[in-house]
A and B are shown apart, each in its own frame.
Chain A
Amino acid sequence: MGISLGWHMLFAAFGVTLPLLAAAAEGIGLLRRSPLHLELARRWSVATGLLFAIGAVSGTALSFELGLLWPRLMAVAGPVLGVALFLEGFAFFVEAVFLGLYLYGWERLPAWAHWASGLLVAAAGSASSLLVTAANAWMQLPSGRMAALADPLAAVMRNPVWWPMALHSTLAAWTAAAFALAGGEAWSLLRRPHAREAARHAAGLRLAMALGLVGAVAMPLSGDAGGRVVAALEPVKLAAMEARFTTRAAAPLYVGGLPDVARRTVRWALEIPGGLSWLAYRRTGAVVRGLESVPRALWPDVTLTHLSFQVMVGSGLVLLAGTLLYWLRAARGRPPRWLLRLLLVASPFGFVALESGWLVSESGRQPWAVAGLLPTARAVTPAAGTPVSLAGFVLLYAGLSAALVYFLRRMAEPGARPEGGSGEPAGEGLAAEVVDDAP
């Protein structure tokens, strides 16, 4: 399940973000009558088609695996999670419909309608991300199962941890995909393409970095808001994130460090006195609950949670630095090669942050599947053969990922033909132009 989910998040993030960027490029292209931007939009929409298909099938895997791997969780929480997932089903449906219109409607729809369907794909994708997080948020902080069953909609929608979580993870998806895309464009630019292609890649990089800037700045803000909600409502998770073993006033913030669970200390960490208290409660002297306030059996995996959290924050800082450097430098013309190399190196960190952030939230709520109601060990399937199915799916995913990378790389190569419907006239014309530019 974790593998499928981790894999799905990659593609879901692209499925939400690429149409947004493609629509932005198309909008600029239409407004400024810039064929460069229109071509960029077309290329991005081809990549969207590939990535979304993988996202859709891995999403199917998830809806199956909920029942296959977590039957008891579904029996307990089905009605509550169901309402959120039911709504998400509609959002996903709308996303798939408009994606079909966007990918195949270049020649058949009026320009404005085509552009709008791209925006709708992005909007529906973001909505589905918000709603999935709603289901997850309820598992993090279920507001009483009985009350929830009486009114599942309210239980899901009025959950105080939902908004910060949903905002944070949706922004994370945008940022991660934007940086990955920027990395791709930087890589293409580093290969010294011809002038026309270079201009297109540069325009792509600029758009991706614009979204990256929004994301990288908004992430820490939404993360801080989320952190304070966690501090108030899920003190054990906060304690695990920060490796806070003892309850104390004026708790320091650990930067880095390896928790030593047996001795209940953190080694090799940089301590900022009162930092944690200030972050959680805006007072350097505030009391922060430690893990010792609950029985040892109810602790999450402190090492995993703390390290994931550090990785997430660290990656976020890398992204913020990368995007600030780009914008400081890009104001003065083309980005130099060292900056492109830097962006290439920074580009995977968006996904590192996304996946490690998810690890924080999931490992932080262990040993519970639904906090306080259902332990993970009891939620999982009693069926034999889970390891076999796990191995099979890891192999399948690895094979498909390799193929995907292969196809995306071929698309990025100079002279690759962008898809135009199924070889319709305009697509051919565009392809011819690109081929002319090829060496």
Chain B
Amino acid sequence: MHPETASRALAAAGPAAPEPVRAAALLLAAVLALYALLGLADFGAGLWDLAAARGPRAAAVHRAVARGMGPVWEANHVWLIFALVLLLAAFPAAFARLGSGLFLPLHLALAGIILRGAAFVFAARGRQAAGGDAPPRLWAVAFGAGSLAAPFFLGLALAATAQPRLAWHSLFALVVALAVVAAGALEAAAYLAVENRGALRAHFLARARAALAALALLALLALPLARAAAPWLGPRLLGGPGLPFVLLAGGAALLDAHALARGAAELARLWTAALVLLLWAGWAASAWPWLVWGELTAAAAAAPRTALRQLLVLLPWGLLLLLPALALLFALFKGESPAPGPG
């Protein structure tokens, strides 16, 4: 703990955030959680697609990734756009500060996102035009590279919000960014293991184990680094409101490892999702009430109260439209038994 830093920061944070601000912040955290669960997994799938490009199962992996992402990736991706729009509408000052303070990493993340999305559809088209299963190298590489760059630079940006003056070039930021990449890779492998059978399921289970090990290692590395690099978030992760989540995440990781070792794909998917959610919840709870540490709290960055209320009033109507549609999409493409894999 850095009692002096913490109390100084608290004093700067001012009185507790008013109710609509809390609600909007919670909403933002929830939208980002959904993006971490769904959108991040699509990046991970891109990585496995690239990693398999030279291996013996290249064609089967490409097919599995294309089938798994095809119908849903655009909907998954919208969670990010939604989070950005929500940040803009509810916390315009933070949106502006992040835009100018993280000019370079966010641009690189964006380039990765554009490249990834375009390369995915091009690779699918190229594969069909060629009549084979392997996509043309160029697009496979672009798809993989974009899928690596996007979560990496988004992770850098996230880490920067916890550091003084939005510093994004630090060891702590690097470790957090790699952890975000590893989390996506873990999700993708765990989800794809459920959606496939036989040798392909074993293939993805093995990759999930590797990704879980990498994520655990990076998380263990990040915690001590956070104490020095992130004077507000770090101590609170290990001693404040973040601690219960960190402990629960540790439990989820162990259960996930156990399920992966036994080859229980459905269970592994569940624990993987729980792990990612708990890590994010721990981060969010520890970072609160800061959106940009030392500069903007949620209350200070918030839009006028009336604007926030309007957002919150509109929200349920929008969800009423959206949720049934999303449920239908996932029920149709993710709810049935896996397609038979080779072997």
Contacts and interface: CB of A to CB of B under 8 A. Distances in A.
Contacts of B88: 63, 66-67, 74, 78, 81-82, 85
Interface stretch (B1-9, B104-112, B207-215): B104-112
Interface string A137-154: 000000000000111110
B199 interface: no
A53 B143 CA distance: 13
A164 B100 CA distance: 34
Given A78-B92, A82-B88, A400 B310 contact: no
Interface residues of B, number: 65
B78 A92 contact: yes
A407 B306 contact: no
A96 B81 CA distance: 12
Contacts of A393: 111
B90 interface: yes
Interface stretch (A54-62, A185-193, A230-238, A242-250): A54-62
A74 B97 CA distance: 10
Contacts of A56: 74, 77-78, 117
A53 B122 CA distance: 10
B121 A50 contact: yes
Contacts of A152: 306-307, 310
B81 A60 contact: yes
Contacts of B185: none
Q: Is the interface of B mostly helix, strand, loop or mixed?
A: helix
B125 A50 contact: yes
A403 B122 CA distance: 8
Nearest to B333: A104
Contacts of A385: 103-104
Interface residues of A, number: 73
A383 B113 contact: no
Contacts of A197: none
Interface string B68-92: 0011101101101110111011101
Contacts, number: 226
B258 interface: no
A103 B71 contact: yes
Contacts of A257: none
Contacts of A99: 74
A79 B303 contact: yes
B93 interface: yes
Interface in B94-145: 95-100, 103-104, 106-107, 109-111, 113-118, 120-122, 124-126, 128-129, 131
B322 A97 contact: yes
Interface of A: 49-50, 52-54, 56-61, 63-72, 74-75, 77-83, 85-90, 92-94, 96-101, 103-105, 108-109, 149-153, 381-383, 385, 389, 392-393, 396, 400, 403-404, 407, 410-411, 416-417, 419, 422
22 contacts: A50-B122, A56-B117, A60-B113, A61-B113, A66-B95, A67-B84, A67-B96, A74-B88, A74-B96, A78-B96, A78-B303, A79-B92, A81-B89, A82-B307, A90-B322, A92-B78, A94-B325, A149-B303, A149-B306, A151-B310, A153-B310, A396-B114
Given A53-B74, A104-B70, A149-B303, 13 more contacts: A53-B118, A54-B117, A58-B114, A66-B95, A83-B314, A85-B89, A93-B75, A93-B322, A381-B100, A385-B104, A400-B114, A400-B118, A422-B67
